[in-house]
Every structure is written in structure tokens, then in C-alpha cells.
Amino acid sequence: MKKYYKIAESQGPYIDRLRVRYPFRIRRTSEPQNEAVLVGIQPLLEGQEFPLYRFPGGVCCEDPFGNGIEIIEW
């Protein structure tokens, strides 16, 4: 079953600020049927942060620039 998401422009100012640094929609190449959308940021030590993406099974920390990730929408 294909998931449909709102247009990126309607996600609000918080997501718009995050989209400057991280892609909005990604897909794992090992699971091409599962697309994920950017939902927030996980703060780490020393001011670092990691993007949170919502997959059909739940929220996951995912490196959008790592191997095995396809960027669908920036």
C-alpha cells in the first residue's frame, strides 16, 4: 500500500528549517517500497544532531547521506 504525504511546502516552519540541512523524503535501497519523511532532530553530545525519519514501522534515526539511502525529495 502506497503512503501519501503532504506536500513539503505545507509541513510548517519547523520542518522548513530542517530541510535546509537534511532531505525531506528518503528511501532505503534495500526496502524500496518504504519511504520515510523527516519528522525531527535527535540532539547528541556537543551540539551535534541526527535527523529522525518516520518509516511505515515507526520513527528511526537514519543517516540520509550514508550508503544504501536514496534521496527522493530535498
Considering its fold, how many domains does the chain have in total?
1
Q: Does residue 2 form part of some domain? A: no
Distances (CA, A) of 58 to 4, 43, 46, 47, 61: 16, 19, 27, 25, 10
Angle of CA points 46, 54, 66, to nearest 5°: 60
Q: How many residues does the chain have?
A: 74
Residues 6 or more apart from 71 whose CB is under 8 A from it? 23, 25, 26, 64
List the single range of 11-15, 25-29, 46-50 with lowest mean pLDDT.
Answer: 11-15
Computed over every residue of the chain, the mean pLDDT equals 84
Instruction: Provide the 8-state DSSP code for 10.
Output: G
Q: Does residue 45 form part of some domain? A: yes
Q: Does residue 63 form part of some domain? A: yes
* Residue 22: CA count within 13 A, CB half-sphere: 25
Domain span at 23: 8-73
Query: Would you state the pLDDT for residue 20?
Result: 85
